[in-house]
Amino acid sequence: MSVESRPGAGILFFGKPKVIPVIKFHQVHKAYKTEGRMIPALQPCDLEIPAGQIYGLIGHSGAGKSTLLRLINRLEEPSGGRIEVAGQEVTSLQAEGLRAFRRQVGMIFQHFNLLSSKTVAENVAMPLKLAGQMSSSAIADKVASLIKRVGLEEHANKYPAQLSGGQKQRVGIARALSTDPKILLCDEATSALDPQTTGQVLQLLAEINRDLGLTLVLITHEMDVIRRICDQVAVLDAGFIVEQGPVAEVFLHPQHPTTKRFVQEAEQIDEQELHADFAQVEGRILRLTFHGQTTYEPLLGRVAREAGVDFTILSGRIDRIREVPYGQLIVAFNGGELEQAMELLSASDVHLEVMR
């Protein structure tokens, strides 16, 4: 087999992975009938979720995130529009076709939704038993390896009630992976967990995405979750997708007020405090955004020397978006050649935004 004919071989020739959408929405919308009236939950939207990526959906409670997610495996029937998943037209699937399709899409939930009457191993085995295509010994082997993958070897024969929240979600993940799905849907999978456990579960999800090449669609109401593991993000507000794009783009340069609020929450920025700080300094105030390698370069000192400006750092944060480092500083510049300083910074790939 030649290299060119191998699926996905194109990836080798580009710096960025080639983008092949695995989930496509065309003008999909959904309204629920409540007390005889149709209440829209999701406004007509177009969406393309690239294969192998972690796609985040963020929005406040009631924004329509779960509705959108549940349309993907047709737990909800769309009111209109076309949904295509892994090359299949989901909207036209009939009974058995729909069930076979659902086996290719795993799902995990905020409240885990494990069967309390079954042990960890029985829960993980359930999708395989229902599919009825494997022998019990093959199922047992597979279940054992899945349980190992999520690090629960010692708990295989326990009941969910005997596990912690993080362990329960690991069972949920193992169960969702049992039928070797192409896509994993995560509905607020970490919202019921404490911060430390959240970190561990997110890490597990990122590993699964990396090792198995699974596409993840992940709902959250925390920008921090998006920042830590997502490649792309869509922001939902009252049933509308108000912003979407690569996480770095949306996170570092939010456009819509809802997105801005989410970012401020994540960064713990207090708008009022910031403006109080502004009153204490002179000169031009800029927000500098570093992304990638520039984050580590000793830029500020050099620019200050070359342009003869003085600077005061008012606030700042250095962190990572997925694996890529970024820095965002609010800096007041004084004296010297401000124009030149700004040019030097821009030339070094620093994004500038004038705040005063």
User: Which is nearer to ligand ADP, 29 or 149 (by Cβ)?
Assistant: 29
- Least spacing, CB of residue 114 vs another protein, in Å: 8
Ramachandran sector of residue 303 (left: φ over 0; alpha: ψ -120 to 50; beta: rest): alpha
User: Which is nearer to Mg ion, 29 or 65 (by Cβ)?
Assistant: 65
Out of 20, 31, 93, 126, the residue judged to bind another protein by CB under 8 A = 126
Out of 61, 94, 116, 268, the residue judged to bind ligand ADP by CB under 6 A = 61
**Partner from ligand ADP, another protein, Mg ion, none binding residue 59, C-beta < 5-8 Å depending on class:** ligand ADP
Ramachandran sector of residue 8 (left: φ over 0; alpha: ψ -120 to 50; beta: rest): left
User: Which is nearer to ligand ADP, 16 or 33 (by Cβ)?
Assistant: 33
CB distance 40 to 53 below 8 Å: no
The encoded tokens of residue 282 equal 């002179």
**Partner from Mg ion, ligand ADP, another protein, none binding residue 9, C-beta < 5-8 Å depending on class:** none
- Please return the burial class of 221, using the count of CB atoms within 10 Å of its CB with bins 0-12, 13-18 and 19+: middle
Q: Contact positions toward Mg ion, by CB under 5 A?
A: 66
# residues near another protein by CB under 8 A = 29
CB distance 250 to 235 below 8 Å: yes
- Least spacing, CB of residue 59 vs ligand ADP, in Å: 5
Candidate segments 16-24, 61-69, 223-231, 302-310, binder of ligand ADP by CB under 6 A? 61-69
User: Which is nearer to ligand ADP, 66 or 119 (by Cβ)?
Assistant: 66
CA distance 286 to 237: 29
Out of 56, 59, 78, 160, the residue judged to bind another protein by CB under 8 A = 160
Out of 23, 45, 49, 63, the residue judged to bind ligand ADP by CB under 6 A = 63
# residues near ligand ADP by CB under 6 A = 11
The contact pattern for another protein, residues 165-204, with x = CB under 8 A and - = no contact, is: --------------x-----x-------------------
Cβ count near 341 (within 10 Å): 23
**Partner from Mg ion, another protein, ligand ADP, none binding residue 127, C-beta < 5-8 Å depending on class:** another protein
- Least spacing, CB of residue 179 vs another protein, in Å: 8
Residue 65 touching ligand ADP (CB under 6 A)? yes
**Partner from another protein, Mg ion, ligand ADP, none binding residue 61, C-beta < 5-8 Å depending on class:** ligand ADP
Residue 273 φ then ψ, to 5°: -60, -40
**Partner from another protein, Mg ion, ligand ADP, none binding residue 167, C-beta < 5-8 Å depending on class:** none
User: Which is nearer to Mg ion, 66 or 178 (by Cβ)?
Assistant: 66
Candidate segments 54-62, 85-93, 297-305, 314-322, binder of ligand ADP by CB under 6 A? 54-62
The residue ranges that bind ligand ADP (CB under 6 A) are 32, 34, 41, 59, 61-67
The residue ranges that bind another protein (CB under 8 A) are 73, 75, 98-103, 105-107, 109, 111, 113-118, 126-127, 129-131, 159-161, 179, 185
